[in-house]
Amino acid sequence: MRNFTHSTMSEDRRAAINAHNPLRVGKKEIEMLGRIVTESIRAFSVTTHLAQNKVVDILGKINVDTLDDVQAAVENLIDVEGIDTIRIAVAVEETIKAIAAMTNLGAKEISKILTENVGASVEDIVLRLHEESRMARLQNT
């Protein structure tokens, strides 16, 4: 005979239910993506010795189709004089790679989102990345 006095759900069952709840899954994905984007911007800032708002500004000005285009795009930035363009290019590439790993988006899609709304907040960027990633996954199924 089973003991029904224990009314709490097992962790496995709770995880299974949560896995099928699109709102909860979406929220978790957004939180994880937010951490990745924030950490990437912070690492970019540390690597280049630029303020984080300047990093977001630079990312908003670099429109590339592939990672191979990043160096040329960085060199075309006029208002980043006296800063090591190679270091910035590497930081941009690493930022795009980190976002790509989380979203399965390519450099072109990520670049488009970053440059669509110059001056956007990190939260806005994360939400747009998440939505684009979600739409791409739906198209691939």
**Segment 109-115 long-range contacts (CB within 8 Å, at least 24 positions apart):** 109/136, 111/62, 111/63, 111/64, 111/65, 112/63, 114/59, 114/60, 114/62, 115/60, 115/61, 115/62, 115/63
CA-CA distance, 19 to 35, in Å (whole number)? 20
Of the candidates 57, 49, 67, 54, the one whose C-alpha atom is nearest the C-alpha of residue 110 is 67
**The model's pTM:** 0.74
Structure confidence by residue, pLDDT tens digits, 75-110: 888 666 666 888 899 999 999 999 999 898 999 999
Structure confidence by residue, pLDDT tens digits, 14-30: 554 444 444 455 788 89
Measure the N-to-C terminal CA separation of the chain; round to a whole number of Å: 44
CA-CA distance, 53 to 84, in Å (whole number)? 18
Structure tokens that stand for 123 in this block: 């939260």
Cα 75 to Cα 44, 45, 86: the distances in Å are 17, 18, 9
Per-domain boundaries in the chain: 12-139
Q: Give residue 7's pLDDT band: very low, low, confident or very high (50, 70, 90).
A: very low
Which of 18-22, 46-50, 94-98, 127-131 is least confident? 18-22
Mean pLDDT of 53-67: 90
